[in-house]
């Protein structure tokens, strides 16, 4: 007998690792997974931020823990994967969300800043996916990987942005998602991406201040920026059995911006 919708979306008994999970979009995604019943391991660079985020999740009745790690560093990624598996057991859901950006005209963009963005936004996604798949998902022939890309990876920069490394990295994340889905489907691992538009997060603060919140909202067909609920639905779809036949895909959550820009 087919399961009900509630049963398909239920994550009770599953474990999720969320990077960049101490605030913003990562924390919102962790909340969605935890509210559906998953145990959560949060990671980001700063212990203080993680303690506060874990306390927030725990206050909502979510089983949440944390490990401080820099996902731009190979040794930190290896430690994060190892300690998560030791403390939580098998990982059912990996959310690659940790990311960085840098604003500068392309002709003046520092090489060190380019490398920083690429190391975290692309190399880090690959290394952690590889470590978790090797340590848990492949042997069990089961798992879900959710990569956070961006609508910045779908098209060129608006003139105000000047974030060529970030845009390039997010375009790479989309093809990384497709390529990994093609390879790891044989192991029962689903790999999908989310392309957020403009959300009121710390990373977007400078851009929002530069462009103006009202102007940015006016450019979206829905006339709004993303809020602290808008990623929950797609996160749960990708992570749960409701999305078990979806892999190698991306979805923009952007108020319609990519639809009118041709993304």
> DSSP string spanning 163-225?
BHHHHHHHHHHHHHHHHHHHHHGGGTEEEEEEEE--B--STTHHHHHHH-HHHHHHTSTT---
Confidence class for position 161, pLDDT limits 50, 70, 90 = confident
Provide the pLDDT for residue 44. 97
Band (6; pLDDT cuts 50, 70, 90): very high
- How long is the chain? 263
- Residue 151: its pLDDT value, please? 94
Specify the 3-state DSSP secondary structure of 12.
Answer: coil
Cα distance between residue 191 and residue 246, in whole Å: 8
Beta strands in 27-132 (DSSP E): 39-44, 64-68, 93-96
CATH topology of domain 5-255: Rossmann fold (3.40.50)
DSSP H helix total and E strand total for the chain? 12, 7
Q: What is the pLDDT of residue 156?
A: 73
Write the burial class of residue 223 (CB in 10 Å: 0-12 exposed, 13-18 middle, 19+ buried): exposed
Return d(Cα 122, Cα 86) in angstroms, integer.
25
- Write the pLDDT tens digit of every residue in 81-117: 999 999 999 999 999 999 999 989 999 999 999 999 9
Q: Is the pLDDT of residue 263 over 60?
A: no
Predicted confidence (pLDDT) at residue 153 exceeds the cutoff of 60: yes
Q: What is the pLDDT of residue 210?
A: 72
> What is the set of active-site residues?
166
Residues 165-212 pLDDT 10s: 999 999 999 999 999 999 999 999 999 999 999 898 776 677 677 778
Angle ∠(140,141,143) on CA atoms, nearest 5: 90
Q: Is 4 helix (H, G, I), strand (E, B) or coil?
A: coil
Is the pLDDT assigned to residue 159 strictly greater than 60? no
Confidence of residue 144 (pLDDT cuts 50, 70, 90): very high
Domains of the chain, residue spans: 5-255
Closest listed residue to residue 237, CA positions, set 249, 228, 221, 226: 249
Instruction: Read off φ and ψ for residue 172, nearest 5 degrees.
Output: -65, -40
């Amino acid at each position: 007998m087919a399961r009900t919708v509630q049963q398909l979306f239920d994550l009770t008994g599953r474990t999720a690792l969320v990077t960049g999970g101490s605030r913003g979009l990562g924390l919102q995604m962790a909340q969605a997974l935890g509210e559906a019943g998953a145990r959560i391991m949060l990671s980001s660079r700063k212990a203080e931020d993680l303690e506060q985020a874990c306390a927030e999740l725990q206050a909502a009745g979510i089983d949440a823990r944390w490990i401080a790690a820099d996902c731009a560093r190979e040794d930190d990624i290896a430690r994060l994967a190892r300690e998560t598996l030791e403390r939580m057991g098998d990982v059912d859901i990996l959310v690659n969300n940790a990311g960085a950006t840098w604003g500068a005209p392309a002709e003046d963009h520092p090489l060190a800043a380019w490398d920083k963005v690429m190391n975290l936004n692309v190399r880090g996604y690959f290394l952690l996916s590889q470590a978790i798949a090797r340590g848990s998902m492949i042997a069990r022939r089961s798992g879900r990987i959710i990569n956070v890309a961006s609508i910045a990876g779908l098209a060129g920069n608006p003139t105000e942005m000047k974030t060529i490394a970030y845009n390039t990295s997010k375009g790479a994340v989309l093809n990384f998602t497709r390529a990994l889905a093609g390879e790891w489907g044989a192991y029962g691992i689903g790999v999908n991406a989310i392309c957020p538009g403009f959300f009121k997060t710390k990373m977007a603060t400078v851009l929002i201040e530069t462009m103006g919140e009202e102007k940015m909202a006016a450019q979206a067909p829905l006339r709004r920026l993303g809020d602290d609920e808008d990623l929950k639905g797609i996160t749960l779809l990708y992570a749960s059995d409701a999305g078990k036949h979806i892999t190698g895909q991306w979805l923009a959550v952007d108020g319609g911006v990519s639809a009118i820009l041709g993304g």
